[in-house]
Chains A and B, each alone.
Chain A
Amino acid sequence: MTRRAALCTAAALPTALATPALASPALAPEPAPKAGTDRPLFGAVTWTLANGLCVVLAESRRVPVAAHYLFYAAGAGEDPHGRSGLAHFLEHMMFKGSRNVAPGAFSLAVAREGGQDNAFTSRDVTAYHQHVEASRLALVMRMEADRFAAPLIPADQVEPERAVVLEERRQRTDSNPRARFFEAFAAALWGPQHWHGRPVIGWEDEIRAITREDMLGFYERRYAPANAVLIVAGDVREATLRRLAEEFYAPVPARPAAARDRAPPPATAREPRLIHHDPSVREAVFLRSFVAPSLTWAPQGDTGQAWALELVAHLLGSGPGSRLYRALVETGLATGAGCSYDGEVAGAGSLGINATLRPGIAPERLEAAVDAVLEDLLQHGPTEAERERAIRQITAGALLTLDSLGGVPRLLGSVLSIGLPLDLAEFWPRRLHAVTLAQIADAARDVVGRAPHTTGWLLPGTPARTGSPA
């Protein structure tokens, strides 16, 4: 059994024990158990097929619909050296037919049934999904399993699809000055060939270099049952899904799956400072990004620091009332300011600060104000009021994930695909509540105080006209 399958099995245990509290609220003790702390948020159940495929069901009888998501635990972070964009290009080619489904027929069949189908590639996963009326679940499972087992990736479709991918890159990135800058900024911190510094869609010259053999190799190494998670949400009974999963997915042959091999972050930023001038930009943008621990990676082995970093990001830059907002927006230095952190990633993560400069303000003033905010946090630490407020505001809406068909499978898929247990998704508010003031201060010191970071400015005009704030 692979490591991933083992995690999946281990996750089944606490969930199965906890589920009755959700199923029979009348028996709940007083006060009522609180979702996410005393009982699971989603009440999902999970099991593993003989070929290693992890199956998850999050049942909801709200409307007669089902969401069917197949996550592969491989994304752009697994693109080989010099072949950035491979995972994404392969995702496109997976729509070009499989053993029993003609090219393009998958999407047309789903549309014919009133359903929606699509796919996405992130740094960590490639996921294929359909939303259908519940009785059509078998249809999409049959087609998805067929694509899983035997995609055609037809040679004569590679070049036309490469043209589509290049247009997608032009649309998303090349025709948008901000997107161009964000791409260059990530490369400046991590390096243009580091898995975290390359764009998911790929560098243009590398998209052009990808071959069909590259795709077949990626499929062979990464699209194995033991490296995938099947998630179904909606109006589906467990017995039904068990039967359908056995019928359609169990026949997909088991094969060895390549484990992720994520290089550690660089010891120092490749370029600590990046100043871009762009004549088409009309509003200057400030960015600073730090290498940070995640729920799967930490330099000292303490992945729990990820929870504290969620709180650091909130107290720094979550809009009105946060420190950056007070120091930049309320003072008129910036039109907007924020801080983002996402700990649910494979390998090293990042904590990023962003601000849009108010016209007429010197960039140096904004940057000095950011420095002062960070310095103050490092010197004096957070307050208890900030800790409580951050936890309250982040956890208040935990149950809102239930209010969409795709929300629960996307959350569960992103957690399970990076090797974390289901429990972590079911009880994430509990983990936040446990974070102490000292842990927040430590996390801030470890990341904002000493981690590798890059500061960037995207400025209007040309260098000659505006000069550099560096």
Chain B
Amino acid sequence: MSAPDDRSAEARDAPDRSQEAASPGFSLPIQEVRAAGLTAWLVEDHSIPVVALSWSWHGGAALDPEGQEGTAAMAAALLTEGAGPLQSVAFADALRDQAIGLSFSADRDGFEGGFRALTDALPEAVRLARLAMAEPRLDAEAVERVRARAVAAAKRTLETPRGQAGRTFWAAAFPGHPAGRQSGGTEESLAAVTIPGLRALLARQIRHDGLLVTAAGDITPARLAAAMEELFGGLPAGRPADPPPLPPFHVFDRKIVSVASPQSVVVFGQDGLATGDPDWEAAQVALRILAGGGFASRLMQAVRERRGLAYGIGAGLNTLFHRGIIVGAVATENARVAETLSVTREEWARMAERGPTEAELADAVAFLTGSLPLQFSDSRRIADTLLGMRQNGRPVDWLAGRPERLAALTRERVAAVSARLLRPADLSVVIAGQPAGL
């Protein structure tokens, strides 16, 4: 019971930004703050002395040169390993002396930065974040340390069935496209990353144009504007190159990766829909009912509650390159993989054929509309939620209108979307472990 939170995250290497939700009884004023030629979204809240800022560009691992996968991820890690006059340890001390949580990361289709800090530490947080982006040192010693860390992490991923299954799934679904590569790189590709290569990637990535910025917490619009000028005003013009368009999801036959383990990890998935699709929210509702978080979903009931086949099972939309891919995961004893898969396919087919019941629809809408305030109790999470909305191209009033749109969904509409989206025959499956009876 203690950890189903991370269940649906098993197959992902990026946080799901598709879980945007709202409540009829809770309105959240989002202000638009213009500065430095950019527009930030801000949720202002002075009840706690904490500020969070998040920003992102498209790009990330999609900008990695072929054979040098992991360049963007290493570059992101290196931004906080020394900048300007501050070498690695001095930079880390400057952050930790004031408890500033500054980090950069690269995933398959984007590059993000952000910090959370106490209000008193805001000036120092802005100074260090600017320095990191404008004058990263990339000292040889730091590069080698970060490379060794990245290689260790890439190898560690392959120690577990979970890591093996995830890697194989994405490579099979999007062969030859950045979506199918390991954004953290492999032992071989990381060895090929060079300091000039890192510099070149940062020069293409850290640009003024195409930046999305969000903020939350103890900061006024005026202070945010000043912070934006300092952070982004001096960045070079132009925007990171567009990544290659996402090819269609490649439906593949069941793959088995042999891993010595008493339990198999199954990653399953299929094509979803574009983030701009008018049926996006109807699809979210359908997937919540079929496979969403918590104990309410049909899959959780069928697999865990009725049969005790697994500790957890879940699936959802994994957003990348402006498309939601439906991905799920479950771990079960080797002997029971066949049964788990067959139950999963049956539920997939039942939802596709008949859609939800009125009661299921009402419950799912109640959850999605009622859970909004809970997502706004942590400043970094608020900033990240807003950033996810912006990456998905939502308008600023999207949250405010969401309860009304969800309430207007009919059973017929969700059933039609289920029928259009869910294709049990196309469900592509990777099993890592030593499954029996398949």
Complex: chain A residue closest to B157, CB-CB = A282
Q: Which single member of A112, A319, A389, A400 contacts B367 (CB below 8 Å)?
A: A112
Bound-state CA distance A94–B294 (Å) is 16
- Contact (Cβ within 8 A) A133 B374: yes
**Do residues B263 and A170 form an inter-chain contact, with CB atoms below 8 A?**
yes
Contacting residues of chain A (381-414) with chain B, CB-CB under 8 angstroms = 389, 392-393, 396-397, 399-400, 402-405
- Closest Cβ of chain B to A82, distance in Å, is 23
**With the chains together, A329 CA to B147 CA distance in Å?**
12
Distance in Å from the Cβ of A67 to the closest Cβ of chain B? 8
A-B contact pairs, 18 of them (CB 8 A): A91-B2, A95-B295, A113-B370, A115-B371, A116-B294, A117-B294, A160-B307, A166-B333, A170-B331, A177-B160, A280-B260, A321-B92, A335-B151, A389-B93, A393-B96, A393-B97, A396-B97, A405-B378
* A178 in the interface (beta carbon within 8 A): yes
- Nearest CB in chain B to that of A95: its residue: B1
Whether A335 contacts B155 by the Cβ 8 Å rule is no
Contacts of B4 in A (CB 8 A): 118
Docked complex Cα distance between A399 and B262 (Å): 44
Contacting residues, chain A, for B25 (C-beta < 8 A): 64, 133
Chain B neighbourhood of A177, CB < 8 A: 159-160
Known: A167-B332, A399-B49. A175 touches B1 (CB 8 A): no
Tell whether A279 is near chain B: CB-to-CB under 8 Å. yes
On whether the beta carbons of B47 and A62 are closer than 8 Å, the reply is: yes
Q: A64-B26, A335-B149 are in contact. Are A111 and B377 (CB under 8 A)?
A: no
Enumerate chain A residues within 8 angstroms of B250, measured Cβ to Cβ. Answer: none
Complex CA distance for A342 and B378, rounded to whole angstroms: 25
Contact of B118 (CB < 8 Å), options: A120, A399, A404: A399
Given A62-B377, A114-B366, A393-B97, 15 further pairs, Cβ under 8 A: A113-B366, A114-B371, A163-B309, A167-B332, A171-B310, A175-B160, A175-B259, A177-B159, A320-B89, A321-B89, A321-B92, A358-B148, A403-B116, A403-B217, A403-B380
Taking CB as reference atom, which chain B residue is nearest A134?
A: B373
Q: What B residues does A133 contact at CB under 8 A?
A: 23, 25-26, 370, 373-374
Instruction: Tell me if A168 is interfacial: C-beta within 8 Å of chain B.
Output: yes
Q: Which residues of A contact B155 (CB under 8 A)?
A: 282-283
Contact B88 A163 (CB under 8 A): no
Residues of chain A at interface, number, CB under 8 A: 72
User: In whole angstroms, what is the CA distance A132 to B367 when docked?
Assistant: 11
Q: Are B372 and A108 in contact (CB under 8 A)?
A: no
Interface size on B, residues (CB 8 A): 76
B152 at the A interface (CB under 8 A): yes
- A120 to B367, Cβ gap below 8 A? no
* Structural contact, A119 and B263, CB atoms closer than 8 A: no
CB interface residues, A 43-67, toward B, < 8 Å: 60-65
B25's closest neighbor in chain A, by CB?
A: A133
Tell yes or no: A174 within 8 A of B by CB: yes
B158 contacts partner chain A, Cβ-Cβ < 8 Å: yes
Among the listed A91, A163, A392, which residue makes an inter-chain contact with B308, where contact means beta carbons less than 8 Å apart?
A163
Cβ distance B118 to chain A, nearest Cβ, rounded Å: 6
**Cα(A88)–Cα(B159), bound, Å:** 27
Contact of B433 with A by CB under 8 A: yes
Query: B144 near A: Cβ within 8 Å?
Result: yes
- Closest partner residue, chain A, to B259 (CB atom): A280
Q: Is B48 an interface residue (CB 8 A)?
A: yes
CB distance from A433 to the nearest CB of B (A): 15
Interfacial residues, chain B to chain A (CB-CB below 8 A): 1-5, 23, 25-26, 45, 47-50, 88-89, 92-93, 96-99, 116, 118, 121, 141, 144-145, 148-149, 151-152, 155-156, 158-162, 217, 259-263, 265, 294-296, 304-311, 331-333, 363, 366-374, 376-381, 433
| Chain A 95-152 residues near chain B, CB threshold 8 A | 95, 104, 107-108, 111-121, 131-133
- Smallest Cβ distance from B400 to chain A, in angstroms? 16
A93 to chain B: closest residue by CB:
B1
Q: Which of A131, A283, A393 contacts B374 (CB 8 A)?
A: A131
Q: Which of A163, A176, A319, A320 gathers the greatest number of chain B CB atoms within 10 Å?
A: A320
Contact A330 B367 (CB under 8 A): no
Interface of A is mostly: mixed
Docked Cα-Cα span, A359 to B144, in Å, equals 13
Residues of B within 8 A of A389 (CB): 93, 97
Tell whether, in the assembled complex, residue B152 and residue A111 are in contact, meaning their CB atoms are under 8 Å apart. no
Q: Are A167 and B331 in contact (CB under 8 A)?
A: yes
| A292→B309 CA distance, assembly (Å) | 40
Residues 206-253 (chain A) with a chain B CB within 8 angstroms: 234
Residues of A within 8 A of B145 (CB): 329-330, 332, 335
Contacts of B374 in A (CB 8 A): 65, 114-116, 131-133, 405
Q: Which residues of B contact A402 (CB under 8 A)?
A: 48, 50
A170: chain B residues within 8 A (beta carbon): 261-263, 331, 333
- Alpha-carbon distance between A424 and B90 when the two chains are bound, in angstroms: 32
A178: B residues at CB distance < 8 A:
156, 159
The reply to whether B310 and A167 contact each other, CB–CB distance below 8 Å, is: yes
Q: Which of A92, A111, A174, A332 contacts B144 (CB 8 A)?
A: A332
B residues in contact with A332, CB < 8 Å: 144-145, 148
Question: Which of B162, B370, B381 is the most central at the interface, judged by chain A CB atoms within 10 Å of its CB?
Answer: B370
Most buried by A among B159, B162, B259, B372: B159
Q: Is A281 an interface residue (CB 8 A)?
A: yes
Chain A residues with Cβ under 8 A from B376's Cβ? Answer: 63
B369: min CB distance to chain A, Å: 7
> A296 an interface residue at 8 Å Cβ cutoff?
no
Residue numbers in B under 8 Å from A280 (CB-CB)? 159, 259-261
Contact call A160/B308, Cβ cutoff below 8 A: yes
The answer on a CB contact under 8 Å between A111 and B296 is: yes
Question: Which residues from A are CB-within-8-Å of B151?
Answer: 335, 359
* Interface pair A62/B265, CB less than 8 Å apart: no
Among A176, A319, A393, the residue within 8 A (CB) of B159 is A176
Residue of A nearest to B49 (CB): A399
A161 at the interface (CB under 8 A from B): yes
- Contact for A168 among B265, B294, B311, CB less than 8 A: B311
Given A175-B160, A175-B433, A404-B378, are A62 and B50 also a contact pair (CB < 8 Å)? no
Residues of A within 8 A of B380 (CB): 403
Bound Cα distance A166, B309 (Å): 10
Measured between beta carbons, the chain B residues less than 8 angstroms from A319 are 92, 96
